[in-house]
Amino acid sequence: MTNQTLEAPRPVLVVDFGAQYAQLIARRVREAGVYSELVPHTITAAEVLAKKPLGLVLSGGPSSVYAEGAPTFDDSIFELGIPTFGICYGFQVMAQALGGVVGHTGDREYGATDVVLSNTADAILQGQPVEQNVWMSHGDAVQQAPEGFEVLASTAVTPVAAFGSKERRMYGVQWHPEVKHSDHGQALLENFLRFIADIPAEWNAENVIEDQVARIRAQVGDGKVICGLSGGVDSAVAAALVHRAVGDQLTCVFVDHGLLRQGEREQVEVDYVASTGVRLVTVDAREKFLTALQGVTDPETKRKIIGREFIRTFEEAEAQLVAEAAESDGSPIRFLVQGTLYPDVVESGGGSGTANIKSHHNVGGLPEDLTFELVEPLRTLFKDEVREIGRQLGLPEVIVSRQPFPGPGLGIRIIGEVTEDRLETLRAADAIAREELTAAGLDAEIWQCPVVLLADVRSVGVQGDGRTYGHPIVLRPVSSEDAMTADWTRLPYDVLARISNKITNQVPDVNRVVLDVTSKPPGTIEWE
Ligand code: XMP
């Protein structure tokens, strides 16, 4: 393997000015077949140069360029000759730095807005309709384009809604091309990447696999590797990549903590193993977890116990594997695979502004004092890319398209003490809900649909001739882009009716099904 192959790919840098849209922009650039990286707005010209970017995209931001504490930017970056595309706040930063005028007009534009393009002969506007509907969100506006820049679009209240200079390869738009509400937004971004920055569309799952396999081989050599599988997408794809790279140097460990949903253990033990050929050790820790959770109702305590037991169990399994490995040929296990994703990297300090660390989501993570070297083949990837890579690697669709599921599993979806009977009840109800949602073709519309058992609540019902005194099941279908915010999904009534009927008919002890109609915030996605 030559060093050349292992050099980081040259990225388009997406400068994060603190808007929720920066990650979305980075994803859209990749959807256009171009590798992108998020960088904070505090990046210096030297740091930009060191990354050898093929282009820059400046994101939107929450502030006015004149507001106190507004995110700053090193203006000399505009002198580096890098093709640049400014969006919303980024467009205004560009205008101001290059000698244009940004002002507070008092006219704000929020939401769907009609824009009229003025020169569709310019390469960046190629194929774009002259009149189109775009998504706006701004108070300030560019009042005058910088010298040498041509005004390329306007709206009823914003005379300079886009400008550009072919010579300097710099363009900007006031609207948000990255959101789906902007009708031709993706095409516009692609025009910038293809025709202005001249970047070929070469970022795709196949190339990423090839590149990661090379990197893993270079890192691991002939060393031994272990990986904890959770049943989720990330660890499954990470392990499959490592297996593709170093085969049986990898051993996977799967802890069955008894808080899994119906069929999940089989999906890993049978389907996943069949499709990848990985060596798998399953640890049956169901008893141990149930015992540790006995009598516990407080959600934080549950999380702590589950996290602690998980670490202990994994450590025991790992110690055994290390001992076995040392015995067999004397070579130790040196590496541990983790399915860390790009948003985790950015959110824990790689980016800025939007950082929002979900510390409690590390439950089910691994002990900190392990002395392994980490192998993290998904560190540069977004979730949808990880799924695509999983598909390319031939993983079962149930795993690849699995919706998010919390590490502590059903343990936090039983409100009250966790017992085997209650787990069985919840598993049955959850399986019905999932089956019906899938059958109705709704999986893509739903981010996830926690099914919750209110084990400490009972209410009177009537079934057949008798009165019942059973528990409610809560359905919590949500739509979301990133789980930070969410809205409840408006599921068709007939689907809800089928789920409700089936659950109350088939699941003992459940006599009501209720729907959660709360957005996040104020509610969280999970009930705990
Ligand atoms: P909340 O309930 O905070 O959840 O709105 C946001 C997202 O995080 C998932 N979640 C977890 N994921 N380990 C995980 O891997 C956890 O401990 C955990 N707790 C919540 C939740 O399902 C939702 O997608």
What architecture does CATH give domain 413-515?
Answer: 2-Layer Sandwich (3.30)
pLDDT recorded at residue 369:
59
- CA 231 – CA 208 distance, rounded (Å): 23
Q: Which of the residues 31, 41, 109, 176 is marked catalytic?
A: 176
Pair 178, 28: CB distance under 8 Å? yes
pLDDT recorded at residue 355:
30
Helix, strand or coil, per DSSP, at residue 210:
helix
CATH 3.40.50.620 segments of the chain: 205-400
- CA 483 – CA 10 distance, rounded (Å): 30
Answer yes or no: 7 catalytic: no
The yes or no reply on domain 205-400 and CATH 3.40.50.620 is yes
Taking 60 as the threshold, does the pLDDT of residue 225 lie above it? yes
Pair 407, 365: CB distance under 8 Å? yes
- Tens digits of per-residue pLDDT, 136-187? 988 889 999 999 999 999 999 999 999 999 999 999 999 999 998 899 999 9
Please give the average per-residue pLDDT across 303-328, as a whole number: 91
pLDDT recorded at residue 62:
77
Q: What is the DSSP string of 109-150?
A: EEEEEEEEES-TTSGGGTT--SEEEEEEEEEEEEEEPPTT-E
Residue nearest to atom 14 of ligand 1 (CA): 406
Where residue 270 falls among pLDDT bands split at 50, 70, 90? very high
Q: How far is the CA of 54 from the centre of ligand 1 (A)?
A: 36
Residue nearest to atom 18 of ligand 1 (CA): 406
pLDDT recorded at residue 3:
40
Q: Which of the residues 31, 37, 41, 88 is marked catalytic?
A: 88
pLDDT recorded at residue 65:
84
CATH 3.40.50.880 segments of the chain: 12-196
**CATH code for the structural domain at 12-196:** 3.40.50.880
Give me 174's structure tokens: 């006031």
Residue nearest to atom 20 of ligand 1 (CA): 406
- Tens digits of per-residue pLDDT, 369-407? 557 899 999 999 999 999 999 999 999 999 999 999 999
- CA 15 – CA 4 distance, rounded (Å): 27
Percent of residues, the chain, with pLDDT higher than 70: 94
CATH 3.30.300.10 segments of the chain: 413-515
Residue nearest to atom 7 of ligand 1 (CA): 483
Ligand 1: residues with CB < 6 A are: 360-361, 363-364, 404, 406-408, 448, 483, 520, 524-526
Length of the chain, in residues = 528
Closest approach atom of ligand 1 to CA 360: 17
Q: How far is the CA of 278 from the centre of ligand 1 (A)?
A: 28
AA identity, residue 52: K
pLDDT recorded at residue 137:
87
pLDDT recorded at residue 331:
82
**Model confidence pTM above 0.85:** yes
Q: How far is the CA of 413 from the centre of ligand 1 (A)?
A: 11
Average pLDDT of the chain, as a whole number: 92
Answer yes or no: 227 catalytic: no
Taking 80 as the threshold, does the pLDDT of residue 357 lie above it? no
Answer yes or no: 184 catalytic: no
Where residue 484 falls among pLDDT bands split at 50, 70, 90? confident
pLDDT recorded at residue 235:
97
Q: How far is the CA of 483 from the centre of ligand 1 (A)?
A: 8
Of 33 and 5, more confident? 33
* Element spanning 226, H or E: strand 224-229
